[in-house]
Amino acid sequence: MNALILVDIQYDFIPGGALAVTEGDTIIPLVNQLIPQFDLVVATQDWHPHNHESFASQHTERHVGEVIDLYGLSQVLWPDHCIQGSQGAAFVDSLEQRTIQKVFQKGTDPTIDSYSGFFDNGHRKATGMENYLREKGVDQVFVVGLAADYCVKFTAMDAQELGFQTYVFTDATRGVNLSPGDTQKAFDEMNQLGIQLLSGANWHS
């Protein structure tokens, strides 16, 4: 049984959003084309309280892109984004949402960020996605969404570590690229862990 995981396809991550990923919106037609080919479709949703401590605005004299120590974890400071209930946190309207069977919200604890759809960044709490997929009999997961070098990468890496056979459609994701080449580095890192990189445009179930 396979599952397609849609990672954070939300307004704040596409052009015009608070943490816009260049060309983030261009993946949506391909994602919509992939969705009907899967037995199960789930989605993750960044869902931050307004005072989340990953926001640069919560730290005096700190700027977006700086890295701080946040309760023992290295934390990139981001612009305020995906605030619970805001338009920026909503899924993009053009995304085909009717067949999404479950949404897993992440980043809800103001003291710890959560890139992966499975756990927070300290692996202190689980979102429930692993148990849900196992209950459904899923053994293969395919990951798409935003952004390649953060939430897609960490979701795929956790899936692989949890024992799911994991694939990423490289043409159905885009990266933040805080540093040039971050997306390619993320793909290389995933590949080294045994995650298989595929072209969604050429894939048929």
Concerning whether 8 is annotated as a catalytic residue, the answer is yes
Instruction: Give me the catalytic one of 82, 113, 151, 158.
Output: 151
- Encoded tokens for 120: 């927070």
3-state secondary structure of 124: coil
Concerning whether 151 is annotated as a catalytic residue, the answer is yes
Q: What number of H helices and E strands is found in the chain? A: 4, 8
- Helices of type H across the chain: 28-34, 129-135, 153-161, 182-192
- Residue 165: strand pairing partners: 140
Instruction: Give me the catalytic one of 8, 12, 46, 113.
Output: 8
Instruction: Give me the catalytic one of 106, 113, 120, 153.
Output: 106
CA–CA separation, 193 and 166 (whole Å): 10
Do the bridges between strand 102-106 and strand 73-76 make them parallel or antiparallel, or are there none, so unpaired? unpaired
Q: What angle do CA 53, 70, 110 make, to 5 degrees?
A: 30
> How far from 100 is each of 35, 96, 141, 176, CA to CA, in Å?
9, 8, 14, 25
Active site residues: 8, 106, 151
